[in-house]
Amino acid sequence: MRATASVLHVDLDAFFAAVEQRDKPSLRGKPVIVGGTGGRGVVATASYEARRYGVGSAMSGREARARCPHAAFLSGRFHAYRATSRLVMDVLRDVSPLVEPLSLDEAFVDLAAAGLPDLEVATVTEVGAELRRRIHEVTGGLTATVGIASSKFLAKVASELDKPDGMTVVAPGTELDLLRPMRVGVIPGVGPATADRLRRAGIHTIAELERTGEDELVALLGKAHGHGLWQLARARDDRPVVSEREAKSISVEGTYDSDLTDRRLMEGLLTRQARDVGARMRKGGHSGRTVTIKVRLHDFTTLSRSSTLSSPTDDGGTIARVARSLLADLDTTGGVRLLGVGVSGLADWVQEDLFGETTAEEDEVEVALPTPPRRAWPPGADVVHDEMGPGWVWGSGSGVVTVRFETADTPPGPVRSYRTDDPALRRVEPPADD
């Protein structure tokens, strides 16, 4: 913990939903739910209008529809979220060279490296206010909540206190006064299972956690977790803001609207995912040794299998061959809902030709495959019509797609329906790197 409040945490409010409301004027001020559009989907983000009905992240799409049936359910446009995130991260790096992104909508900023005249509370408060103003400006109206404190832990906690569109600065020396009345669940890493263990031990608040001995916490939660909570309950956190976070693994996965039963199709999907993983590894300068596949069966049972190579690789073909061999050991006759491939044990060097040359038969397996089930007109997707111009998919079914024609810079626009094969209407595909 530092002697100054010089760690800033910024969290964009309901980010995915906010981007959709920005780009779709007819949805502003209305409940919007991103994700959860299919029967097996989960909610990625709910707008604050939807949260009033009890909709939250990670909730099933079915439950979200039951709670808020009048919401707009959108599949998500990650190219738009990435582009907006880049604008925000550029603003943060204008403040300080030490920016640690945690996700598209969240980051730490080290104000001690910002070249400020001092780090007094008034100075960092002014920086936080200006940062929020700039984010609102460059993103076209999105809001952010900021927490500023003497450590990453406290800055993160502070950014949760005045949502949305707020700011909390924790003055040095007041950290424990802030923490003690709070429930233990505000501590990162204290999920439902850990909170339940602590509750059964009579520990509900951070004040009660602070009064608990370290040995007791270690016995209750294990050495690493127990020691970590003992430290955080005393506001002890010396983790630095790191501008480049080291990736621990790289993975790609997909959930499908219809159960997959064709073994050859599954192998093809794993092959394509492995290629994507390899491409991302090469782009990041990584290679890895441990290949893992993730398979969720028709009954929601989730299986994973791993194999560790003798040397690191970043080759998609190599990763694909290992992934297919791991799939061969699993019984998937009942159908598969989700498939994924990941590589861990990352390194910065590669052993070439680990498995030798790819055979012609393997090449055929990789390319001569049917396309997996995919929604051609997912709700929220960008489209353009030859006469009406740009718009987005309101809904589709029975060979018809309904479009609302509007953009971020227009008033709410008209709604029109077309045949799904109408040549005048087409999807606007995201950039290739997204």
70 and 212: one domain?
no
- What's 53's domain CATH number? 3.30.70.270
Give domain status of residue 433, yes or no. Answer: no
Full strand arrangement of the beta sheet holding 336-344: 249-260, 336-344, 288-297, 302-313
311 and 423: one domain?
no
Give domain status of residue 401, yes or no. Answer: yes
Give domain status of residue 432, yes or no. Answer: no
20 and 132: one domain?
yes
Q: How far apart are CA 345 and CA 25, in angstroms?
A: 45
Give domain status of residue 163, yes or no. Answer: yes
Beta bridge mates, 103: 106
165 and 185: one domain?
no
pTM of the model as a whole: 0.75
**pLDDT, position 246:** 58
- What's 206's domain CATH number? 1.10.150.20
**pLDDT, position 107:** 95
386 and 356: one domain?
no
103 and 1: one domain?
yes
Contact 175, 43 (CB under 8 A): no
15 and 133: one domain?
yes
**pLDDT, position 39:** 59
Give pLDDT tens digits for 138-194. 999 999 999 999 999 999 999 999 999 999 999 999 999 999 999 998 887 787 888
Number of domains in the chain: 4
**pLDDT, position 36:** 63
Give domain status of residue 238, yes or no. Answer: no
Give domain status of residue 199, yes or no. Answer: yes
268 and 322: one domain?
yes
Give domain status of residue 352, yes or no. Answer: yes
303 and 345: one domain?
yes
38 and 153: one domain?
yes
Give pLDDT tens digits for 252-309. 988 777 788 899 999 999 999 999 999 988 887 888 889 999 998 876 678 888 888 8
- As annotated, the active-site residues are 106
Q: How far apart are CA 396 and CA 386, in angstroms?
A: 19
146 and 91: one domain?
yes
Which of 170, 193, 213 delimits the end of a domain?
170
Burial of 257 (0-12, 13-18, 19+ CB in 10 A): middle
Contact 170, 147 (CB under 8 A): yes
- Encoded amino acid at 386, one letter: D
Tell me the pLDDT of the chain (434 aa) as tens digits: 899 999 999 999 999 999 999 999 999 999 999 986 665 677 889 999 999 999 988 788 889 999 999 999 998 898 899 999 999 999 999 999 999 998 889 999 999 999 999 999 999 999 999 999 999 999 999 999 999 999 999 999 999 999 999 999 999 999 999 999 999 988 877 878 888 999 999 999 999 999 999 999 999 888 888 898 999 999 999 999 988 655 678 899 887 777 888 999 999 999 999 999 999 888 878 888 899 999 988 766 788 888 888 778 888 999 999 999 999 888 888 888 889 999 987 765 544 333 333 333 333 333 344 444 445 788 999 999 999 999 999 999 899 999 999 999 999 999 999 999 999 999 987 765 54
Q: Whole domain around residue 206: which residue ranges?
A: 180-232
Give domain status of residue 330, yes or no. Answer: yes
**pLDDT, position 346:** 74
362 and 414: one domain?
no
